[in-house]
Amino acid sequence: MSELPEIESVVYFLKPHLLNRTIKKVTLEKESILVHPTKEELIDGLLHREIIHFSRRGKMVCFLLDDQSKLYIHPRMVGQFLTCPKNLPEIKHTHFIMEFDNDEEFRYIDVRRLGKLYYIKKDEEDIYTGINRLGVEYNDESLNVATLKSRLLNYKKTVKDALLDQSLIAGIGNIYADEILFVSKIMPNKKAQELSNEEINRLFHAIKEVLDRYIELNESVGYDEYLKGEGKDFANMHVLRLYHSQRCPICNKELERTKLSSRGTVYCPHCQK
């Protein structure tokens, strides 16, 4: 899975291996993952450029290059990111590679080929990535109880829909929406605009608590462990409260599984109201 805590952890692990590296070779094996521009324009744009910043926005990683152009990769469901020595055998389904001046490589692996890649030139209007439509980040100083309340006040769908709406808060995915609602003790099908002040307060603090906790767990292992796990075996996957569970970790009663807006949803009908 590739949700906010995983992408944030990717940046944490890979950033020291990417910053100030010059790209000397680019390989795109699967053109179907490239949304914009053409393969030739992508390679020409990246070659001999230096990476000066590497960050996360929503569920995407962003490379800022020394000519102010940008490379975005959205891994969708199962995309994996690695930096490794170029002589390390390639993992099957490696679709995009950048080789650097230190004989290391950045590799993007995607078994289902659902991920998307975008290259935006300096001063080019970005009408491709959707990044301009993303909402605030969960840890942005502008997000507080009051601003969260204002965002939910006229939101007519469920509170889970609100958490998944990338134009409200960027980066939260299905699994962590369930975790957040469990911690805040709110039923996922409750209308967002019907939340009480107390529930909004609990929800705000649960967003911070859950995402911070799982990012910290992921980053508690070293880079060697990240590399060993091939960028997919994150530490937090083994301690999620609901994802792998059949019973509630608080009351020990059976968890309910249903679909909301076509998304699988797990909750405890006894602890969440």
Tell me: the pLDDT tens digits for 110-157? 999 999 999 999 999 999 999 999 999 999 999 999 999 999 999 999
Q: What are the C-alpha distances in Å from 128 to residues 36, 86, 120, 170, 214?
A: 7, 31, 9, 17, 30
Tokens of 90: 């390639």
**Closest by Cα among 37, 39, 78, 71 to 57:** 71
Q: What are the C-alpha distances in Å from 31 to residues 40, 83, 154, 271?
A: 11, 21, 41, 47
The confidence score (pLDDT) of residue 227 equals 80
Tokens of 85: 């020595």
- The dihedrals phi and psi of 27, each to the nearest 5 degrees, come to -130, 125
Identify the H or E element spanning 25: strand 23-28
The answer to whether 224 touches 13, Cβ cutoff 8 Å, is no
Task: Convert the pLDDT of each residue in 147-176 to its tens digit.
Answer: 999 999 999 999 999 999 999 999 999 999
Three-state secondary structure call for residue 207: helix
Q: What are the C-alpha distances in Å from 220 to residues 210, 217, 230?
A: 15, 5, 16
The confidence score (pLDDT) of residue 223 equals 83
Q: Structure pTM?
A: 0.93
Q: What distance lies between CA 5 and its chain's CA centroid?
A: 6
Mind giving me the DSSP string for 88-118? SPPPTTEEEEEEETTSEEEEEE-SS---EEE
The answer to whether 65 touches 72, Cβ cutoff 8 Å, is no
The confidence score (pLDDT) of residue 1 equals 63
- The dihedrals phi and psi of 16, each to the nearest 5 degrees, come to -65, -20
Burial 252-271 (b: 16+ CB within 10 A, else e): eeebeeeebeeeebbbbeeb
Encode the chain (273 residues) as per-residue pLDDT tens digits. 678 999 999 999 999 999 999 999 999 999 999 999 999 999 999 999 999 999 999 999 999 999 999 999 999 988 999 999 999 999 999 999 999 999 999 999 999 999 999 999 999 999 999 999 999 999 999 999 999 999 999 999 999 999 999 999 999 999 999 999 999 999 999 999 999 999 999 999 999 999 999 999 888 877 888 887 777 777 677 788 898 899 999 999 999 999 999 999 999 999 999
Contacts of 215 (CB under 8 A, 6+ apart): 4, 5, 8, 9, 12
Q: E strands within 67-226?
A: 70-74, 80-85, 94-100, 104-109, 116-120, 136-137, 169-170
Ordered domains of the chain (ranges, CATH)? 4-133 (3.20.190.10), 136-267 (1.10.8.50)
The confidence score (pLDDT) of residue 235 equals 63
